[in-house]
């Protein structure tokens, strides 16, 4: 049975509450360390937006959500909580910001933020269009719409305070590479991985500048994971060899390096901006390559599926395949997404990395 320790997050929270000068937010009557969490991106943080659009990429059926609080599918691509949920827990939230397209994203619920993420979206709008997901540019349009709704609920002054002090989370890039670039013979003929990653970073830069112009000041961005270690990537591009695909991991590391240097430049250019690129690559790489160090047993296939490293969530379906009895033993839930237990390990690491955003 997997044994996983979430003490780092708890220790950090105590340190933040007792020893630092972080002020409790004044935008609303609560004890959360930020007034709201506003999320953009892909399936790593989608909490159900894809339930409301026509796309193949959905997680609104069992066994997704079987270990969530409600034991029901929620649209999250996981057996339970995502890293963003665990971040909200650590910051003192008792409920989670709703998927923007859901009926729950209305009225006073908007005060704690909302979630625009859409599974199979990327930095490149063409990736989302290809996968019938919500493009990042459309997510930004929804955000501007959200700001108008928030002002009606909270009043313009309070809304402005919430927008300024909120934590913004952005997770994207995986679908750009796995479901667009490597999969598209035309695209990888006309551009190298280096050129494509530079193109994505330019989109990221514009997005952050736009978000900053809209009032955002605290932005946490996840790096690319070790794409070559995902069971789906190994199935599609690994030719059934064991171990991670080093070339794909090198491309991911190159992208991450560009993101880090870009974040440094953005901090210099935009007064008052706090932006952190969360290193997802190394902790996930460690989980996959040394699973037993973290209490896991299986790291080469998902708990849910046929056991052959499925390419999409579509194979995590009881009609097509089986599901392991104990997901805490598995690093991956399906061919791409981490289990709740692995998400907890990752969340503990990222919360430590993100303390700068809370100051």
Provide the 10 A C-beta neighbour count for residue 230. Answer: 29
CA dist list (Å): 250 to 224, 228, 229, 254, 262: 11, 9, 11, 6, 18
CA distance 300 to 321: 17
Asked if 49 and 100 count as a contact pair (C-beta separation under 8 A), the reply is: yes
pLDDT of residue 27: 40
pLDDT of residue 26: 40
46, two tokens: 């989608």
The count of structural domains within the chain is: 1
Q: Which domain holds residue 107?
A: 7-358
pLDDT of residue 359: 73
pLDDT of residue 20: 40
Q: Say if 2 falls within a structural domain.
A: no
Asked if 87 and 169 count as a contact pair (C-beta separation under 8 A), the reply is: yes
Q: Which residues are part of the catalytic machinery?
A: 43, 334, 337
Residues 6 or more apart whose Cβ sits within 8 Å of residue 284: 225, 226, 229, 338, 342, 346
Position of tokens 């990736």?
127
Position of tokens 């052959």?
308
pLDDT of residue 279: 96
**Could you report how far apart the first and last alpha carbons of the chain are, in Å?**
38
Asked if 55 and 186 count as a contact pair (C-beta separation under 8 A), the reply is: no
pLDDT of residue 30: 56
pLDDT of residue 321: 66
Q: Specify the CATH number for the domain of residue 97.
A: 3.40.50.1110
Of 235, 233, 245, 338, the C-alpha closest to 291 is 338
pLDDT of residue 22: 42
pLDDT of residue 178: 94
pLDDT of residue 320: 66
Of 181, 148, 157, 132, the C-alpha closest to 28 is 157
Give, as one character, the DSSP assignment of residue 178.
Answer: I
Q: Say if 1 falls within a structural domain.
A: no
pLDDT of residue 4: 60
Which of the residues in the chain have pLDDT under 70? 1-30, 240, 306-314, 320-321
Strand partners, 169: 39, 220
Give, as one character, the DSSP assignment of residue 223.
Answer: -
Provide the 10 A C-beta neighbour count for residue 233. Answer: 26
């Amino acid at each position: 049975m997997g044994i996983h320790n979430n003490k780092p997050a708890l220790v950090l929270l105590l340190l933040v509450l007792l020893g630092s000068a972080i002020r409790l937010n004044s935008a609303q009557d609560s004890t959360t360390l930020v007034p709201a969490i506003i999320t953009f991106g892909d399936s790593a943080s989608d909490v159900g937006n894809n339930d409301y659009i026509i796309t193949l990429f959905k997680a609104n059926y069992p066994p997704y959500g079987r270990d969530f609080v409600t034991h029901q599918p929620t649209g999250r691509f996981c057996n339970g909580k995502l890293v963003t949920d665990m971040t909200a827990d650590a910051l003192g939230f008792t409920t989670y910001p709703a998927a923007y397209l859901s009926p729950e994203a209305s009225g006073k619920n908007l005060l704690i933020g909302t979630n625009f993420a859409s599974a199979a979206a990327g930095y490149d709008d063409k990736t989302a269009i290809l996968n019938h997901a919500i493009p990042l540019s459309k997510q930004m349009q929804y955000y501007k719409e959200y700001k108008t709704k928030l002002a009606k609920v909270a009043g313009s002054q309070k809304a402005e305070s919430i927008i300024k002090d909120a934590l913004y989370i952005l997770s994207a890039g995986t679908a750009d590479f796995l479901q667009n670039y490597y999969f598209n013979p035309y695209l990888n003929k006309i551009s190298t991985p280096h050129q494509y990653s530079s193109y994505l970073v330019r989109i990221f830069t514009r997005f952050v500048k736009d978000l900053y112009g809209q009032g955002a000041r605290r932005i946490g961005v996840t790096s690319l994971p070790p794409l070559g270690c995902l069971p789906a990537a190994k199935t599609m591009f690994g030719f059934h060899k064991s171990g991670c695909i080093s070339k794909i991991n090198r491309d991911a590391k190159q992208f991450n390096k560009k993101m880090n240097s870009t974040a440094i430049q953005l901090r210099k250019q935009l007064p008052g901006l706090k932006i952190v690129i969360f290193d997802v690559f190394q902790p996930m790489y460690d989980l996959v390559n040394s699973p037993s160090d973290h209490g896991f047993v299986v790291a080469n296939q998902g708990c849910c599926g046929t056991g052959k490293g499925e390419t999409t969530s579509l194979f995590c379906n009881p009609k097509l395949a089986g599901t392991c009895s104990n997901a805490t033993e598995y690093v991956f839930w399906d061919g791409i997404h981490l289990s709740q237990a692995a998400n907890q390990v990752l969340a503990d690491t990222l919360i430590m990395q993100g303390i700068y955003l809370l100051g």
